[in-house]
Structure 1
Amino acid sequence: MTKIPGKESDVPDPQSPWDEISPGLWMGGHVWSDPAGEPRPVVVADEFDLVISLFTRSGHGPGPGTEHLVAEMPDSVLTAGQLHTVRGLARAASRALDAGRTILVRCHSGYNRSGLVVAQCLVERGLAPAEAIALIRRRRSPWALHNAVFTAYLAAGLDASAQLTELDPLR
């Protein structure tokens, strides 16, 4: 188990580098644990047509011929601007799927930030938020989207969540 600042210590590393959530739409991270429980780095080369990274680490790819969208953000409360970015990335993923491309959405472990973008993409494509979350948890891990703030954003809708965030006088 890899310790991540702010991450609950009882959350295990994923058991695979990435998993296909729906045809052509993959979700993953930068680390996974092999069958012996050893943490392993995830390096993307040219397996995907588009990689969307919400966390980056030098040397983890993707390769030079792969389109790469980067929008680093925390695995915590997001600003209105970050929520708008999530929506834009989800739409970019949906357009890429419509064009027959394969997409990897990744963050550190491939649970929360990537899950938020993938779930929003699925919502944009017609799934209800609860269905999108359940699908991600079945296909990636029961630990996917364990960030309750992110599931609340999805339930309320990203646009409404962004509007409410903009009203927060403490921000």
Structure 2
Amino acid sequence: MRTEGRGAPDADAPWNEIVPGLWMGGHHYRDATGARAAAVPDARFDLVLSLYERAGHGPDPGVEHHCTVIPDDPLTPAQIQVVLDMAERAAHAVRGGRQVLVRCHSGYNRSGLVVAHALTLLGHDAADAIFLVRYRRSRWALNNRTFEEYLTAGLDVAHLLTGLEEQPPAAT
């Protein structure tokens, strides 16, 4: 469910705080020695939202965890609805003072889409949200141009437009 070939290197950290209480990460990263390491969320997080799943990558028992796998490709209306729901859950938890980690495979695109939309729900405009995700996580974040376009248009609008694409043509 991951698009290969965008040339993004593994992140230098398992996760990064984008704004207070809202973290973004992946399932692996490069440690200080340059070796690939598993990113396993621990009890520092109250809520972990995963858009990719891999056995042995946590989170720790007792951490609230919601996982819905979506592709790092153009999304269906149902998949965009998952993103909308996850972003709302993240924003609500951050407003409540909880520590939230949103993660995907590498911690760049799917998690970036959810985190950026959560930032819009927390009062940022789309351009600022995209900037914050890239500045705080990695310049490689949101390298999926379709996801950036969803955010720029508005995820609610993207949800409606992708739904129109699935409608059969009207009979004449």
TM-score range, shorter chain: over 0.9
Partner of 1:89: 86
Q: Does 1:80 align with 2:94?
A: no
Q: Does 1:165 align with 2:162?
A: yes
Amino acid at match of 1:41: A
Partner of 2:100: 103
Q: Does 1:141 align with 2:138?
A: yes
TM-score (norm 1): 0.93
Partner Cα distance (2:34, 2:167) in 1:
42
Ranges of 4+ aligned residues in structure 1 off by more than 6 Å: none
1:170 Cα shift? 8.4
Asked whether the equivalents of residues 145 and 151 of structure 1 are also in contact (C-alpha less than 8 Å), the reply is yes
Q: Which runs of 5+ in 1 are unaligned?
A: none
Structure 2 counterpart SS, 1:19 = strand
Q: Which runs of 5+ in 2 are unaligned?
A: none
Partner Cα distance (2:38, 2:114) in 1:
22
Change (3 A) 1:155 1:48: same
Partner Cα distance (1:163, 1:72) in 2:
21
Aligned residue pairs, count: 168
| Superposition pairs of residues 12-161 of structure 1, within 5 angstroms | 12-161=9-158
How many percent identity over aligned positions? Answer: 49
In terms of Rg, which structure is larger?
2
When the two chains are superposed, the root-mean-square deviation of aligned CA atoms in Å is 1.6
Amino acid at match of 2:13: S
Partner Cα distance (2:6, 2:32) in 1:
19
Amino acid at match of 1:7: E
Change (3 A) 1:89 1:5: closer
Partner Cα distance (2:166, 2:116) in 1:
28
